Amino acid sequence: MKVIEYSERDKIREILERETLDLDKVMKSVGEIIGKVREGGDSALVDYSKKFDDFELTKENIRVSKEEIKDAHSRVNENLVKALKHAHRNITRFHKEQMRRIEKGWSAEIEDGVNIGEKITPIENIGAYVPGGRTSYASTVLMTCIPAKVAGSKRIVIVSPPPISDSILVAADICGVNEIYRVGGAQAIAALTHGTETIKPVDKIVGPGNVYVMAAKMLVYGKVDIDMPAGPSEVLILADKTANSRFIAADLLAQAEHDPNAQCVLVTDSEGVIEGVEKEIAKQIESIKTKETAKEGMKNSAVILTRNIKESIEFANRYATEHLEIMTEKPDEVAEKIRDAGAIFLGEYSPVAAGDYASGGNHVLPTGGTARFSSGLSVRDFLKTSSIQRIKKEGLLTLKETIETISNSEGFDAHKKSVRIRFE
């Protein structure tokens, strides 16, 4: 692991300005895919499935049947089903608590006779992209579908590259979702946006994916809403001299095994912790089944050596990580000073893995520094608000002169007259 002192400004800037998604190189080809799916519908999906997934998709098997979902239960390990149900309970409880705090609309009298408020309603049609490829992401089914369900979305659609694993089908069934299509990549995003003969369009698309999926989401934004453009997963561990080096090493490796492009950063004011972590990584990496991927991921690792905890906190806020673990003597006090992080994990027994799977928080989080201005997926992403205005005659009278003055200044005569006519 390369150790960088916080005073080395150029090297720190390089870490902060990490390139996570090079969308430009794929935008043209993704745009062509979207155009062909829009024009060709199911036929284009069949062609792209053969080309990109080497899968014989037909117009008849694009949608996963109810029988296939039922059969998947018989092939999935009972312990996994039990674990998915446990995670489902906790994730549902977390998002229900979110919903309980925001579901009621409100109204207030702004001035005499002028009452205004908000009505909150769910987005009706949701598309959830569940990645395939390296592994099966049943947990992503839970994280994308549960908050949509809790928010009250009427229709939730899952798309995933073929062949779709049994665990994804079981997770979808646990969530009460049975509209599933074996389509992946940019073509799946195009189908969800524009619709085909088989797939009806949605209003919003959520869920992580590769660079082609992310580019497609960016290109269709405006026709539909999207959650966020997500890059490679990342963790920042903020530690002091009291931290357990074994735990830090284990959590860095857990991040590194995600992807060869995963970002793994340790920031600490303790040289002793750094020494201990390096020894533990060398020891632990040989015992994990994913060590080859983890070794590649660890090439993106960095250790930031600061002079004190204040500098460590400053770096953490500048880095604005997806996952922030705080392993210090007083983690709650440190957390109070954190403004920019997707999800925060306090103390030695709060690893990112808990949040990835079972504690209840959502694991669809902002990456690449976007935690400076965005949040993790929540029920809020599946809700929209409409302002409601009820104005009495006397209330409009108090607004009349202001409306007329501003509309005059902007050259909108009919605006002025639409108010004035009510008093003639």
Alpha carbon dihedral 301, 305, 306, 311, in 10-degree steps, equals 0
Choose, from 194, 258, 323, 363, the residue flagged as catalytic: 323
Q: Which pLDDT score is estimated for 311?
A: 98
Domain residues for 247? Answer: 2-20+231-360
Q: Are 95 and 147 in contact (CB under 8 A)?
A: yes
- Kindly state whether residue 78 falls inside one of the protein's structural domains: yes
- Kindly state whether residue 59 falls inside one of the protein's structural domains: yes
Choose, from 234, 257, 280, 322, the residue flagged as catalytic: 322
Residues 259 and 222 grouped into a single domain: no
Residues 356 and 398 grouped into a single domain: no
Residue 29 CA: distances (Å) to CA of 36, 175, 345: 11, 34, 39
Q: Is 322 a residue of the active site?
A: yes
- Kindly state whether residue 419 falls inside one of the protein's structural domains: yes
Helix H segments across 52-129? Answer: 66-75, 78-102
**Which residues pair with residue 345 across a beta bridge?**
325
Residues 186 and 79 grouped into a single domain: yes
Q: Is 378 helix (H, G, I), strand (E, B) or coil?
A: coil
User: Last residue of some domain: 316, 345, 360?
Assistant: 360
Q: Are 264 and 235 in contact (CB under 8 A)?
A: yes
Residues 241 and 316 grouped into a single domain: yes
Number of domains in the chain: 3
Residues 303 and 327 grouped into a single domain: yes
Residue 115 CA: distances (Å) to CA of 255, 364, 387, 389, 390: 51, 38, 11, 6, 5
Q: Which two tokens stand for residue 252?
A: 């860095």
Whether pTM > 0.85 for this model: the answer is yes
- Kindly state whether residue 288 falls inside one of the protein's structural domains: yes
Residues 54 and 155 grouped into a single domain: yes
First-to-last alpha carbon distance for the chain, in angstroms, is: 78
Residues 204 and 295 grouped into a single domain: no
User: Last residue of some domain: 200, 226, 252?
Assistant: 226
d(CA 201, CA 199): 6
- Kindly state whether residue 54 falls inside one of the protein's structural domains: yes
Q: Which pLDDT score is estimated for 133?
A: 62
Q: Is 323 a residue of the active site?
A: yes
Residues 15 and 34 grouped into a single domain: no
- Kindly state whether residue 49 falls inside one of the protein's structural domains: yes
Q: Which pLDDT score is estimated for 332?
A: 97
Q: Which pLDDT score is estimated for 134?
A: 58
d(CA 179, CA 201): 12
- Kindly state whether residue 57 falls inside one of the protein's structural domains: yes
Nearest to residue 379, comparing CAs of 84, 91, 114? 91
Q: Which pLDDT score is estimated for 2?
A: 84
Q: Please report, for the domain that includes residue 93, its CATH number.
A: 3.40.50.1980
Residues 168 and 41 grouped into a single domain: yes
Q: Which pLDDT score is estimated for 284?
A: 97
Residues 15 and 72 grouped into a single domain: no
Q: Are 394 and 112 in contact (CB under 8 A)?
A: yes
Q: Which pLDDT score is estimated for 356?
A: 96
Q: Are 231 and 364 in contact (CB under 8 A)?
A: no
Residues 206 and 298 grouped into a single domain: no
User: Last residue of some domain: 315, 342, 360?
Assistant: 360
Sites in the chain below the pLDDT cut of 50: none
- Kindly state whether residue 39 falls inside one of the protein's structural domains: yes
Residues 349 and 245 grouped into a single domain: yes
- For the packed helices 309-319 and 9-16, what is the interaxial angle rounded to 10 degrees? 40
d(CA 237, CA 251): 9
